[in-house]
Amino acid sequence: MNGKILIVDDDRKTADLIRMYLERDGYQALVANDGRQALDLARQRHPDLIVLDLMLPMVDGLDVCRILRAESRVPIIMLTARTTEDDKLLGLDLGADDYVTKPFSPREVVARVRAVLRRAGEAQEKGPAAAQFGELAVDFVSHTVRLRGAPLRLTPKEFKLLETLVREPGRAFSRLELLERVFGYDYEGFERTVDVHIMNLRKKIERDPAQPAYILTVYGVGYKFAEEEDAV
């Protein structure tokens, strides 16, 4: 078995189609048809990934995502008929790892499942469970950040962006690379999305966001997290 996937969609035909393709690919598939059942199954069966429709009865998909993300780091792929950038960013900011826009090919969903699980596995294999940089402490397991001992409230995407940079201090990441790593490998947003998230992160972790000591701009490239010799 490649892993356990929870499919959440109130359209039973859509859920069964995705289940069939996932099982053909060697996954164990669970199905929930409303948000409340999705939360129960997620808590009881501990899936490796959740394919989550946004439009659900009982508890809608955005609330399911918000609740699950507060409880665990299970990867979530959202299914959405909403196509505006703001709608997609809302789901991603709540903690979804990727999204698929309806109508979709079930083979595309399977490909996204593989890609997201691969990224999640790579993240778990990388380096230590926590990192300390001056006054900033990042715990990759508990998903927490502390500044001068006080906890910071970061959105899931802000944390994922910070984690990506912190795990490889000194490495310059392009905006496109950060976009792909944080928002999904083929997210169709604009690179300015990264700039907005960097700006928000700097407001939370830097003493002077205008003169950052942690997240540095690499002109003509993108951003990097400071090495000790970069810090001022």
The DSSP string of 3-28 is -EEEEE-S-HHHHHHHHHHHHHTT-E
Residue-level pLDDT at 176: 83
Query: What is the C-alpha separation between 167 and 123, in angstroms, rounded?
Result: 9
Residues 137 and 79 in one domain: no
Residue-level pLDDT at 49: 93
Taking only the tens of pLDDT, the chain with its 232 residues reads 578 999 999 889 999 999 999 999 999 999 999 999 999 999 888 899 999 988 888 888 888 888 888 778 888 998 887 655 566 667 677 778 888 888 888 898 999 898 888 877 765 555 567 788 888 988 887 778 898 888 888 888 888 899 889 888 888 988 888 887 777 655 555 667 888 899 999 999 999 999 999 999 999 888 999 976 444 4
Amino acid present at 33: N
Residue-level pLDDT at 86: 63
Residue-level pLDDT at 38: 92
- Is 232 contained in some domain? no
Using CA atoms, how far residue 222 sits from 3, 72, 154, 192, in Å, is: 35, 30, 21, 11
What residues does 136 pair with on adjacent strands?
A: 133, 147
Give the pairing type, strands 28-32 and 144-147.
Answer: unpaired
First vs last C-alpha separation in the chain = 50
Residues 9 and 116 in one domain: yes
Residues 147 and 65 in one domain: no
Query: What is the C-alpha separation between 61 and 148, in angstroms, rounded?
Result: 36
Residues 109 and 37 in one domain: yes
- Is 68 contained in some domain? yes
Give the pairing type, strands 136-139 and 130-133.
Answer: antiparallel
Scanning 184-228, the segments in alpha helix (DSSP H) are 192-205
Residue-level pLDDT at 216: 93
User: Two tokens at 123?
Assistant: 């993240």
Residues 13 and 102 in one domain: yes
Residues 11 and 115 in one domain: yes
* Sheet architecture: strand order including 28-32: 28-32, 4-8, 49-53, 76-80, 98-101
Give the pairing type, strands 173-174 and 222-225.
Answer: antiparallel
Q: Counting Cβ atoms within 10 Å, is residue 148 exposed (0-12), middle (13-18) or buried (19+)?
A: exposed
Helix (H, G, I), strand (E, B) or coil at 107: helix
Determine how many CB atoms are found less than 10 A away from the CB of residue 53.
26
Domain final residue pick, 73, 103, 125: 125
